[in-house]
Structure 1
Amino acid sequence: MEIQNKNDGKRGAFYIEDGGKEIALMHYIFSGPGKMIIDHTEVNDAYAGKGLGLQLVKAGVAYARENHMKILPLCPFAKKIFDITPAFADVLFGS
């Protein structure tokens, strides 16, 4: 299981598949130059509690750093992760 990213220049998603089936997803939207909004994260119930959501947020943070972007975490899960992870402050929009 590895994290993959797909986007069309306006929106995209980081996702994880297991056996060809999508089991976790974090959706984002590009909002102007240098900003992405995380608006939804979900993990298949059978994979809950395995840290997949956190892995997706970390992938989003890495992507933002590589592309000199800021993240606005509107998704409650992603916001919680940003709130408890000071190391992500460098990519947090408004900081």
Structure 2
Amino acid sequence: AFSGWAQDNTTATNGDNLVVTANRFPQPVSSVLAPTTIVTRNDIDRWQAKSLTDVMRRLPGVDVGQNGGLGQKSSLFIRGTNSSHVLVLIDGI
């Protein structure tokens, strides 16, 4: 129901990146009180990441538990929380 916001082409006027937090509204990352990490395409290329877990392992406060090889089930633990409390959205999906 909220995936339409993922297609919002609004840009910040000062070049600040926009993020969508729990309030579900885009806002400049500089105004977000919670710690925020933005991963860019350049970051992914520089890290030579082949999967989402490769990217997530590089982020502060994120632990990845992987059962098996590439494509197998992985669990994300962000800042010590249970993996069932973690939701990862890529471009709003």
TM-score range, shorter chain: under 0.3
Q: Structure 1 length normalisation: TM-score?
A: 0.26
Higher helix share: 1
Q: Structure 2 length normalisation: TM-score?
A: 0.26
Structure with max Cα Rg: 2
Higher strand share: 1
